[in-house]
Amino acid sequence: MTATTTSARSDLSELGRSETALRTFLHGLPGVDQVGAEQRAAQLGTRSIKTTAKAQAIDLAIRMVDLTTLEGADTPGKVRALAAKALRPDPADPSCPHVGAVCVYPAMVPYVAEVLRGSAVHLASVATAFPSGQAPLEIKLADTRAAVAAGADEIDMVINRGAFLAGRYSEVYDEIVATKEACGDAHLKVILETGELATYDNVRRASWLAMLAGGDFIKTSTGKVPVAATLPVTLVMLEAVRDFRAATGRQVGVKPAGGIKTTKDAIKYLVMVNETVGADWLDPDWFRFGASSLLNDLLMQRTKLTTGVYSGPDYFTLD
Amino acid sequence: MFEYAPAPESRSVVDLKPSYGLFIDGKFVDPTDGGSFKSINPASEEVLAEIAEAGAQDVERAVSAARKAYDKVWGPMPGRDRAKYLYRIARLIQERSRELAVLESLDNGKPIRESRDVDLPLVAAHFFYYAGWADKLGHAGFGSNPQPIGVAAQVIPWNFPLLMLAWKIAPALAAGNTVVLKPAETTPLTALLFAEICQQADLPAGVVNIVTGAGDTGRALVEHPGVDKVAFTGSTEVGRAIARSVAGTRKKLTLELGGKAANIVFDDAPIDQAVEGIVNGIFFNQGHVCCAGSRLLVQENVADRVLESLKRRMAHLRVGDPLDKNTDVGAINSAAQLERIRELSDAGSAEGAERWSPPCELPDRGFWFAPTIFTGVTQAHRIAREEIFGPVLSVLTFRTPAEAVEKANNTPYGLSAGIWTDKGSRILWMADRLRAGVVWANTFNKFDPTSPFGGYKESGYGREGGRHGLEGYLNV
């Protein structure tokens, strides 16, 4: 079931023009009760997904993986191997779907692009001085343009958390707008770094701010700070994209990233998507997992379901 | 679409016998006059077991067994030894919690998610909590050496069969009383399994006696002259009759009766969590909850928004097989209760309120009622005044906090209330003015053994839970 809103679509595009308007709007959003949000997330986590539903969920989750490596030690060889795995995650089983995207640093984009050319797997690159975002705007935009020029069709940017927490919403807004412009045709995912935002109220406000500024996706985390994606944070973000579509008619995607390692975790997220925003978001175009080790666990569980035998980790490639 | 495959909890953990006797003086015995009735699974109408019906002579036997145990064993026993038995019972409940949860869902119709995650953990917690009081009664605020009352007659309802048993038996035993308990006629099975746990725990014979039967059995028990204390949870109508029958006797009485709680949502509430609270308030346990938030009072300037969210959320409620781990709303407990819910809902439509339910398929067999809300309800409507005890919510609006208080209090009941607002001062202001025994702020249906529970006005008197719950079982 999706929202069937009767209220008229609102034009919120003018909000970004004034700091006051932006602040008034963001602080007028309904609050989030921490205990209640965490309780709801925990309750959804008790759903029992078995047999056919599990098989369906695993294939969907594989298609939603942004297969990621963001290490100083990344090499052209390593990212090529990762891209090859993205195309055929399970070489032994051609029925296994490909992942959603490969996500690397800008310098690694050309090597991945060679492998993915002509395929349906997207190429995402982090940009804007990832993960801290602590660079002058011009450099962040150059970073973005370089990644797009090298072949990335999705950009994962980080917001300026310092400006957000200090209440300088226009500054954050303007940076997102500028980055979106630098992206050209590439999709923009806006990383809120929820682990640094401290409250669910802030997560909701940052979600709306990113959507108002034109983000195509909102993403929880860089994976580089201690607290990454959690179920309650993702719940709050899903509620935000649901309400944003009801208000404006524009659909925005959600990407939890960091710390999602097991099939069991991934299925909890899919259940949450299903029961919060509904089937419209149960698609790699609208929901992604930023993860690296998750894929192998999904493949192991998939093999277990199809063959009835649990093969150990040695049967799947290490990346 | 993402369809969840059936995920049924296995029934094999439960070892159902074809028939059950009465639990008197530590043994299962046949009733004197041989009467019996059937307990059925409300989700399928399948007969689960044949249950003995206790007559006046059986009640007599049970009360004298309880008296003997009180005089000879349990009354004189030091508190620390009583605690030992209660801790043992609590641990056995935890060990056998899956079995008890499955049996509760079979007999009552409630979803296994609730019996497993709410009922059973609370049952065990109640026994653990009151076990702790057994040797500390002198510090409970009722004098330095408070004494038990004697034999307690306890009559419990069908909505939380084992949890209500725990609320009754744990404090009674901790304080040094012995009990004769009558479970509801539609849900006797977990009480009988509890009797087996008493045997397993080597609880001295006669301390706990379970007599099964319907209204006549309950009346014989409550009116028995050998009883010193009567505790009842159930309808206000039966509660009144009990109060009349006990009047003028030495018997001490506590009553926990009906409710028509207001769940009040202000315009600054956290809307998404308030909607969860509304759903939990009225659809938890199919609305078979005496403290259910059956009247939603929503501030008019957010009413449309809240209702839109509520309807969207209700479309995700999964109604069906109580043993399926993904079921949110199970079966209505009995044909009689279903009839009452239908009758009051029809009255709601007839009186002009607008009825809405999400599209949901109900099973062919068994007793089912789709989650339902009524909008455009006024204080004068029957569905705003009478306890429906089903998954039916009446929605009213208000403009000012004073109006919210006035509407919330405008009921003969006063068991519970809920307040949803981001403003702490308003929560305190409201809580001072609401005439309800429990007031939840930004949550609903939260229970804990340490917290007293009970009503104002026609919702009854006496408190269960916490230190206060001991008072009803002590001679103070």
Shared-domain flag, residues B413 and B389: yes
Instruction: Inspect the interface and report whether the beta carbons of A31 and B2 lie closer than 8 Å.
Output: no
Tokens at residue B217, please?
């059995």
Output the pLDDT for position A236.
98
Task: Test B442 with A36 for CB contact under 8 angstroms.
Answer: yes
Where in the sequence numbering do the catalytic residues of A fall?
A: 156, 219, 255
* Collapsed DSSP state (helix, strand, coil) of residue B389: coil
Which residues of A are less than 8 Å from B277 in CB distance?
Answer: 36
**How near does any CA of chain A get to the CA of B289, in Å?**
20
**Shared domain check, B463 and B361:** no
Residues B55 and B135 in one domain: yes
Measuring CA to CA, which residue among B417, B452, B454, B451 is closest to residue B435?
B417
For residue A253, what are the β-bridge partners?
A217
State whether B70 and B131 are in the same domain: yes
For B304, the domain range is: 262-441
Angle at B2 between CA A315 and CA B6, to 5 degrees: 85
C-alpha angle B426-B455-B211 in degrees, rounded to nearest 5: 150
CA distance B117 to B445: 14
Q: Are B262 and B210 in contact (CB under 8 A)?
A: no
- Give contacts of B273 with chain A, Cβ < 8 Å: 32-33, 35-37, 40
Q: What percent of chain A has pLDDT over 90?
A: 91
B95 and chain A in contact, CB less than 8 A: no
Closest by Cβ to A36, choosing from B2, B273, B315: B273
Number of domains in chain B: 2
> Token pair for residue B359?
């599209």
Beta strand B252-256 pairing with B438-441 = unpaired
Sheet holding B22-24, edge to edge: B27-29, B22-24, B208-210, B178-182, B151-155, B229-233, B252-256, B460-461
Give the residue on A whose Cα is nearest the Cα of B317: A275
Q: Are residues B30 and B75 in the same domain?
A: yes
Q: Which of B372, B369, B407 is nearest to B393 (CA)?
A: B372
Helix (H) or strand (E) holding B225: none
CB under 8 Å to B461, separation ≥6 — which residues? B253, B254, B255, B454, B455
B291, B361: one domain: yes
- Using an 8 Å Cβ cutoff, are A179 and A140 in contact? yes
Q: Residue B108 maps to which CATH number?
A: 3.40.605.10
Distance (Å, whole) CA B327 – CA B319: 6
Which residues in B lie closer than 8 A to residue A39 (C-beta atoms)? Answer: 276
pLDDT value at B399 more than 90: yes
Pair of tokens at residue B197: 């746990």
pLDDT in tens, B310-329: 999 999 999 999 999 999 99
Q: What is the CATH number of the domain that holds B304?
A: 3.40.309.10
In a domain, B168, yes or no: yes
Q: Where are the beta strands (DSSP E) in B144-294?
A: 151-155, 178-182, 208-210, 229-233, 252-256, 262-265
Q: Does B101 fall in a domain?
A: yes
Is B280 found in the same domain as B147? no
Same domain flag for B31 and B173? yes
**B117 and B244: one domain?**
yes
Pairing of strands B252-256, B460-461: antiparallel
Q: What is the pTM of this model?
A: 0.96
Query: What percent of chain B shows pLDDT beyond 70?
Result: 100
Specify whether B233 is located in the same domain as B277.
no
Query: Given its phi and psi angles, is residue B462 left (phi above 0), alpha (psi -120 to 50 degrees) or beta?
Result: left
Per-residue confidence (pLDDT) for residue B458, from 0 to 100: 95
Check if the beta carbon of residue B284 is closer than 8 Å to that of residue B292.
yes
Which pLDDT score is estimated for A7? 47
The beta-carbon neighbor of B422 closest among A3, A31, A274 is A31
Structure tokens at A296: 């192998």
The verdict on B251 and B269 lying in the same domain is no
Q: Which domains are delineated in chain A? A: 31-307 (3.20.20.70)
- Mutation target to probe the A interface, by most A beta carbons within 10 A, among B4, B327, B419 is B4
- Give residue-wise pLDDT tens across range A271-314: 999 999 999 999 999 999 999 999 999 999 999 999 998 888 88
Q: How far apart are the first and last CA of chain A?
A: 38
Chain A interface, Cβ < 8 Å to B: 1, 3-7, 30-33, 35-37, 39-40, 46-54, 56-57, 60, 239, 270-271, 274-275, 279, 282
pLDDT at A6 over 50: no
Same domain, B209 and B267: no
Q: What is the DSSP letter of B181?
A: E
Judge whether B330 and B284 are in contact, CB under 8 Å. Answer: no
Residue-level pLDDT at A246 = 95
Q: Is B449 inside any structural domain? A: no
Count of CA atoms in the C-beta half-sphere (13 A) of A134: 2
What would the pLDDT profile of B350-361 be if each residue is shown by its tens digit? 999 999 999 999
- How does pLDDT run across A81-90, given as a tens digit for each residue? 999 999 999 9
Give me the half-sphere count of Cα atoms (radius 13 Å) on the Cβ side of residue A83.
27
Asked whether the CA dihedral B27, B31, B34, B36 is positive or negative, the reply is negative
Cross-strand partners of B319: B329
Residue B162 lies in a domain: yes
Residue B231 within a domain? yes
- For residue A189, the surrounding DSSP H or E stretch is strand A187-191
